[in-house]
A and B are shown apart, each in its own frame.
Chain A
Amino acid sequence: MARLIRTEKEVEGRYEEVWLVVEEDALEQWPTGPRDVVGRPAERLDGFERASGQAVYTADLDKPGMLHTAVLRSPHPRARATVDVSPALGMPGVHAALGPGEVEQLSAECNYQGQAVAAVCADTLAQARAAVRAIRCDFAVLEPLLDPDEAVRRGELLGDPRVRERGDYERGLAEADAVVEAEYRTQVVLHNSMETHQAVVEWTREDAVEVHISTQYVWGIRDAVAEGLGLPADNVRVVCHYMGGGFGSKNSPDDYTFIAAELARRTRRPVKCALTRREENTAAGNRNATIQRLTVGARSDGTLTALGGEFVNAVGWGGWSSGTEGPMQMLYACPNVKTTTYGAKLNLPPMKAFRAPGFVEGTFGLEALLDELAAQLDLDPLELRRLNHAEQAPEGGEYSDKNLLECYRRAEPHWERRHEVRARSTGTVKRGVGMASQIWYGGGGPPSYAWVRVGSDGRAAVVTAMQDIGTGTRTAMAQIAAEELRVPLEHVSVSLGDTDRGPYATLSAGSSTTPSVGPAVRAAAADARTQIEEIAEQRGLPKDAPVAAVVDVLEDAQILGKGARGPNPTGMQVLTFGVQVAEVAVDVETGEVWVERIAAVHDVGRVINPLGASSQIEGGIIQGIGHTLSEERLHDPATGRLLTTTLDAYKLPTIADVPEIVSELVDEPDRHLTNLGSKGLGEPPIVPTAAAIANAIRDATGADVRQLPITREEMLRALREAEARQKEKVGAPAGV
């Protein structure tokens, strides 16, 4: 029965209260362990299409009569533009031009570099670009605000400061035998999805549009476009069959979609607006920089008595102040915790969610701090974490399930390697091992729906309007349906990515797709399965007769199953956990750092496809290594102009940077979570990587790195500091 409930919905660590109609989730979970299809490695259903170039991405779409767009963007972080687009209209091939205010997203008031000011569409992209250069535009440059601390002082904030306190922080500090204070900084990193942000918009009627877009959320695009254009939502069809990466940056329609929509309306042609790589590095979102001023207090045995932090998220001109304090609040059983988080509003491009926003940054600070404490108290870092393990959610409530201790146990053999790794240090190259824990959301939630259709050939089609952004969710959904229907995986197809061709399914973000859509697919398959068994009975066939043999008389008749995602367990925290152990080598003379090995153990409930899951873990770790060692969007501190807008200047990891990666999943279904017990895996693997590497560096060299990326400069600074500290300790008495 459908039930109306008021519940908290979590997306990327942000909660909102929503009304939901949920359907009961009556199916029993499958017992632990691999099944016939679920839990066994499966090749990607669409792997060949993608690899062979047959898959048509938004970037590949070419509609008859389609026009191409170029956008004029502010090269200044703060400026007022005076614009005359009319010269562009006389350029070859040009069909229309838009100036500031002609769509809301075009503005003469530029508050970050990359603000869209004007746009032109033409027969070819080259013509559009030439026409944009013909636009007359003067920028009156204004003084930008670039310093996050200054923004906090001036009260230039996005949202109110977030103060979260439990227990009595000051008393906790007073009770401590040891206190460590440290300031950590993390940099701006860019998603740099290989397919840039883009859309093709076509008006199919006076009051209806079709939007092909590289997105993580077809339904979110539908609603935002409908609202922006003043159309009924059902008059907006959004399609995304394949997309080339998003990592959190492609949840909303943004300027390019609305620019294309307006140009398409004026020209009555399909219009494509695609960001160039340089625009992608400027105006497509980023993981914002943070400053974290942290304090930990503990008894001499390592029991935490106080954790405190002031977190400044350097958010940029737009976006939101993510939960950088989350790990400090949630990871350990510390009774006294106080955090204050500011979102500094700056003349820098707006942030967007990027794979576990806030938690990647916050885990770097917290877990490095914990190891500094361990070093001071001369404790084993893994033991310190076990000692402070939270049995109950420290902020209240039960965990639906938690296997962090099991993750620690499985990480032990990797942790044990540290003696042997250290012993392999030679000359100026020091080696060491470090670890860090992971906490993040990933439980998903309702609503999401699926349909399953079985034809007389015994083949099944799963229909659900979700998207597969590269995580392999299409394959996972097919596995779930095959398992429940008891048909071979090759006999299941999945149709997704089209709001006109399937029921609502959630966004591909927040590690939520599998835990949200998976249970709906299973419910739909179970509905179809029940009907198949009823037919079997009427035909006098055994209940477990092969599906094809049961339905072969159906001819054009079809069996239709439908399913919905049930509610999350009431009053319970659904979270993912894990641990990573990193091995590094540091040349203490040059400051060069190599990551040699990373072992990852994560707890994300039941695993649907171990092959795809290991790929997700590797991908997350590799992005984490980039975040730790090489990636940084730089801006000129005086003018605020961005300095790294190409893939040459912005250092993504290459195949040559990849260490040995060993991964393992606990693979225990979360008993309280849906008919699957599965959580998401997209984000957890990137969360602890930076901290594990920083802690391995400390193990190798005694140096406390406190800033990402760990450039040679930062490494050498930390080494000098460690050396000075050492001299002070040893040299002080003798020096008098």
Chain B
Amino acid sequence: MRLDVNDHAYELHCEVGTTLAEALRDELSLTGTKIACGEGHCGACTVLVDGAPVLSCITLAHAVGDAKVTTIEGLREHPMLRSFVRADALQCGFCTPGQVVSAVALVEARPEPTTEEIRHAMAGNLCRCGAYPKIEEAIRTWRD
């Protein structure tokens, strides 16, 4: 199968039933995408598919088709990343790549989201360390 990830076209062999998260992590070694629950409950595995946030642990690799996948590795230059570090919006960091991806999807659609919009868009990304106040701040100040 083919997979378009971070503007590279990959040719890979995945068994039917392989999730997008497994394909990214195990086949392409793109381990920035984390798996924390593997069943669609936490947001750690969030990637962009044609710009929209998607839970890669419950998305089948074969179902992605020609769509463009963007992972945290493809967002290394995005100002949102610097903003997270500046605001101290992470502690253990395990949920963080997923948070950043969700946040990027949000601000690409709404560059100046309100608090309500941030809370709505980010409510599916769990952070056990409770970095939430600073995640909100990082998203509010991402262009500074």
Q: When the two chains form their complex, are residues A471 and B130 in contact, meaning their CB atoms are under 8 A apart?
A: no
Interface residues of B in 90-134 (CB under 8 A from A): 90-97, 100, 118-120, 122-134
Q: Residue-by-residue, is A192-214 near B (CB-CB < 8 Å gives 1, otherwise 0)?
A: 11111000000000000000000
> In the complex, given contacts A43-B86, A59-B35, A470-B91, what are 17 additional A-B residue pairs having Cβ atoms less than 8 angstroms apart?
A44-B85, A44-B88, A47-B85, A48-B81, A50-B90, A52-B72, A193-B92, A193-B128, A242-B92, A244-B92, A472-B88, A618-B131, A619-B131, A621-B130, A646-B37, A648-B41, A655-B125
Q: When the two chains form their complex, are residues A52 and B32 in contact, meaning their CB atoms are under 8 A apart?
A: yes
Q: Residue-by-residue, is B6-32 near A (CB-CB < 8 Å gives 1, otherwise 0)?
A: 000000000101000000011001111
Cβ–Cβ < 8 Å partners of A615 in chain B? 88, 91, 131, 134
Counting CB contacts under 8 A, is A514 at the interface? no
Q: How far is the CA of A552 from the CA of B51 in the complex (A)?
A: 50
Report if A647-B126 is in contact (Cβ < 8 Å); known contacts: A47-B88, A51-B100, A618-B134.
yes
Q: When the two chains form their complex, are residues B36 and A623 in contact, meaning their CB atoms are under 8 A apart?
A: no
Q: When the two chains form their complex, are residues A51 and B119 in contact, meaning their CB atoms are under 8 A apart?
A: no
Counting CB contacts under 8 A, is B73 at the interface? yes
The smallest C-beta distance from A299 to any residue of chain B, in angstroms, reads: 41
Report if A619-B91 is in contact (Cβ < 8 Å); known contacts: A51-B84, A56-B31.
yes
Q: When the two chains form their complex, are residues A469 and B92 in contact, meaning their CB atoms are under 8 A apart?
A: yes
The smallest C-beta distance from A373 to any residue of chain B, in angstroms, reads: 32
Number of interface residues of B (CB under 8 A): 57
Taking Cβ atoms with an 8 Å cutoff, the residues of A that contact B are 43-44, 46-57, 59-60, 62, 126, 191-196, 242-245, 247, 276-277, 469-472, 611-612, 614-616, 618-623, 646-648, 652-656, 658, 661
Q: When the two chains form their complex, are residues B96 and A51 in contact, meaning their CB atoms are under 8 A apart?
A: yes
Contact of A661 among B86, B88, B126, B133 (CB under 8 A): B133
Q: How far is the CA of A648 from the CA of B40 in the complex (A)?
A: 9
Q: When the two chains form their complex, are residues A195 and B26 in contact, meaning their CB atoms are under 8 A apart?
A: no
Counting CB contacts under 8 A, is B69 at the interface? no
* Identity of the chain B residue whose Cβ is nearest the Cβ of A43 in the assembled complex: B85
Can you give 17 A-B contacts (C-beta < 8 A)?
A: A44-B85, A50-B93, A53-B71, A60-B25, A62-B31, A126-B15, A194-B92, A194-B127, A244-B93, A618-B130, A619-B91, A619-B131, A623-B128, A647-B126, A654-B124, A655-B118, A661-B133
Counting CB contacts under 8 A, is B49 at the interface? no
Q: How far is the CA of A535 from the CA of B84 in the complex (A)?
A: 41
Q: How far is the CA of A693 from the CA of B37 in the complex (A)?
A: 30
Q: How far is the CA of A193 from the CA of B88 in the complex (A)?
A: 19
Cβ–Cβ < 8 Å partners of A54 in chain B? 32
The smallest C-beta distance from B24 to any residue of chain A, in angstroms, reads: 10
Cβ–Cβ < 8 Å partners of A658 in chain B? 130, 132-133, 136
Report if A652-B128 is in contact (Cβ < 8 Å); known contacts: A48-B81, A615-B88.
yes
The smallest C-beta distance from A713 to any residue of chain B, in angstroms, reads: 24
Q: When the two chains form their complex, are residues B130 and A623 in contact, meaning their CB atoms are under 8 A apart?
A: yes
The smallest C-beta distance from A513 to any residue of chain B, in angstroms, reads: 14
Contact of B119 among A193, A244, A247, A656 (CB under 8 A): A656
The smallest C-beta distance from B102 to any residue of chain A, in angstroms, reads: 10
The smallest C-beta distance from B74 to any residue of chain A, in angstroms, reads: 10
The smallest C-beta distance from A401 to any residue of chain B, in angstroms, reads: 27
The smallest C-beta distance from A651 to any residue of chain B, in angstroms, reads: 10
Q: When the two chains form their complex, are residues A470 and B93 in contact, meaning their CB atoms are under 8 A apart?
A: yes
Q: When the two chains form their complex, are residues A194 and B94 in contact, meaning their CB atoms are under 8 A apart?
A: yes
Q: How far is the CA of A48 from the CA of B88 in the complex (A)?
A: 10
Q: When the two chains form their complex, are residues A654 and B123 in contact, meaning their CB atoms are under 8 A apart?
A: yes
Report if A656-B32 is in contact (Cβ < 8 Å); known contacts: A51-B85, A244-B93.
no
Interface residues of B in 28-48 (CB under 8 A from A): 29-39, 41-42, 44
Cβ–Cβ < 8 Å partners of B135 in chain A? 655
Secondary structure type dominating chain A contacts: loop
Cβ–Cβ < 8 Å partners of B123 in chain A? 654-656
Q: How far is the CA of A176 from the CA of B126 in the complex (A)?
A: 48
The smallest C-beta distance from B124 to any residue of chain A, in angstroms, reads: 8
Q: When the two chains form their complex, are residues B91 and A195 in contact, meaning their CB atoms are under 8 A apart?
A: no
Cβ–Cβ < 8 Å partners of B129 in chain A? 194, 245, 470, 619
Q: When the two chains form their complex, are residues A59 and B34 in contact, meaning their CB atoms are under 8 A apart?
A: yes
Cβ–Cβ < 8 Å partners of A646 in chain B? 37, 39, 41
Q: When the two chains form their complex, are residues B92 and A60 in contact, meaning their CB atoms are under 8 A apart?
A: no
Q: When the two chains form their complex, are residues B36 and A655 in contact, meaning their CB atoms are under 8 A apart?
A: no
The smallest C-beta distance from B43 to any residue of chain A, in angstroms, reads: 9
Contact of B33 among A53, A611, A623 (CB under 8 A): A53
Q: How far is the CA of A655 from the CA of B117 in the complex (A)?
A: 11
* Identity of the chain B residue whose Cβ is nearest the Cβ of A618 in the assembled complex: B133
**Shortest 8 CB-CB distances between A and B: which pairs?**
A53-B32, A50-B93, A244-B94, A470-B92, A622-B130, A619-B130, A647-B41, A470-B91
Residue of B30, B71, B96 with most partner-chain A CB within 10 A: B96
The smallest C-beta distance from A386 to any residue of chain B, in angstroms, reads: 30
Q: How far is the CA of A193 from the CA of B93 in the complex (A)?
A: 11
Cβ–Cβ < 8 Å partners of A60 in chain B? 25, 31, 34
* Identity of the chain B residue whose Cβ is nearest the Cβ of A620 in the assembled complex: B130
Q: When the two chains form their complex, are residues B76 and A52 in contact, meaning their CB atoms are under 8 A apart?
A: yes
Q: How far is the CA of A56 from the CA of B97 in the complex (A)?
A: 12
Q: How far is the CA of A500 from the CA of B124 in the complex (A)?
A: 40
Cβ–Cβ < 8 Å partners of B37 in chain A? 277, 646-647
Report if A195-B94 is in contact (Cβ < 8 Å); known contacts: A43-B86, A44-B88, A277-B36.
yes
Q: When the two chains form their complex, are residues A52 and B38 in contact, meaning their CB atoms are under 8 A apart?
A: no
Cβ–Cβ < 8 Å partners of B130 in chain A? 618-623, 653, 658
Cβ–Cβ < 8 Å partners of B84 in chain A? 47, 51
* Identity of the chain A residue whose Cβ is nearest the Cβ of B86 in the assembled complex: A43
* Identity of the chain A residue whose Cβ is nearest the Cβ of B124 in the assembled complex: A654
Cβ–Cβ < 8 Å partners of B30 in chain A? 53
Report if A656-B133 is in contact (Cβ < 8 Å); known contacts: A53-B72, A195-B36.
no
The smallest C-beta distance from A242 to any residue of chain B, in angstroms, reads: 7
Cβ–Cβ < 8 Å partners of B131 in chain A? 615, 618-619
Residue of A46, A55, A611, A616 with most partner-chain B CB within 10 A: A55
Q: How far is the CA of A59 from the CA of B39 in the complex (A)?
A: 16
* Identity of the chain A residue whose Cβ is nearest the Cβ of B41 in the assembled complex: A647
Q: When the two chains form their complex, are residues A655 and B119 in contact, meaning their CB atoms are under 8 A apart?
A: yes
Q: When the two chains form their complex, are residues B92 and A245 in contact, meaning their CB atoms are under 8 A apart?
A: yes
Q: How far is the CA of A53 from the CA of B70 in the complex (A)?
A: 13
Cβ–Cβ < 8 Å partners of B38 in chain A? 276-277
Q: How far is the CA of A530 from the CA of B20 in the complex (A)?
A: 55
The smallest C-beta distance from B88 to any residue of chain A, in angstroms, reads: 5
The smallest C-beta distance from B2 to any residue of chain A, in angstroms, reads: 22
